[in-house]
Amino acid sequence: MKAESGIVLGIELSSRQGSLALLKDGTLLAEKTWIGENVRHNVLFQTLETLLGGVGVSYSDISLYAVGRGPGSFSGMRMAFAVAQALALPVKTEVRAVSSGAALALAAAREGAEQIIVVGDARRGQVWYGLFNAGRNVCPELDQEWRLVPYKEVAVQEETLVVSSDADRLRDYIPQLTLSLFPLARDVAALALKQTVPEPLEPLYLHPPVFVEPKFS
């Protein structure tokens, strides 16, 4: 698909705010957001039908699906991938994965920030974070690999903006956290159009696998 052309459906479910967005020729056509920790398939599909119906778009009109791959809610990310791949299957529409952290950094870059740390609550006494460099580039680039560390080990340099969709839970641990934002499907879709190197079509999950020893009766 040629960049900046066609209709793109963005799906972002990595945080407690879910969102769907349609871009046409790179411009926002329609958008829906909602708050809900546990999104069920019926809620997602009802919202999707309302989004498409409101602007007269059918699934056959969609030329690209863009999915936020996290870091974030593993169940939300898995649902987003499952839905996008299922919808894309009948006519083999392309699916692209986009870092939800990059989408969040893109929103922060619009506030004028150049150095941006995106941080999220990984629970278990830890946070995940990534450092992005926006500079004059509209598309923020990950400057360091994502890290999973204890709360107090997030290193913040001067003139670095810290942003999180978990700000209400993390401000007590990271005083520099000043901006509360959620990743948006519109930014996931926009970044997918500008993508030159494809990201893996799987959730970005930073916790190592947890082995639960089976119980025997």
CATH of 101-180, one of 3.40.50.970, 3.20.20.70, 3.40.50.10490, 3.30.420.40: 3.30.420.40
What tens digit of pLDDT does each residue of 59-95 get? 999 999 999 999 999 999 999 999 999 999 999 999 9
Domains of the chain, residue spans: 7-100+183-194, 101-180
Mean pLDDT of the chain: 89
**Cα(8)–Cα(27) distance, integer angstroms:** 10
The residues, any chain, with a CB within 8 Å of residue 81's CB and separated by 6 or more, are: 67, 69, 97, 201, 202, 203
Superfamily of structural domain 7-100+183-194: ATPase, nucleotide binding domain (3.30.420.40)
DSSP tag of 75: H
Residue 42, pLDDT score: 77
pTM over 0.85: yes
Query: Same CATH topology for 7-100+183-194 and 101-180?
Result: yes
At 165 the pLDDT is 95
Residue 1 pLDDT: 45
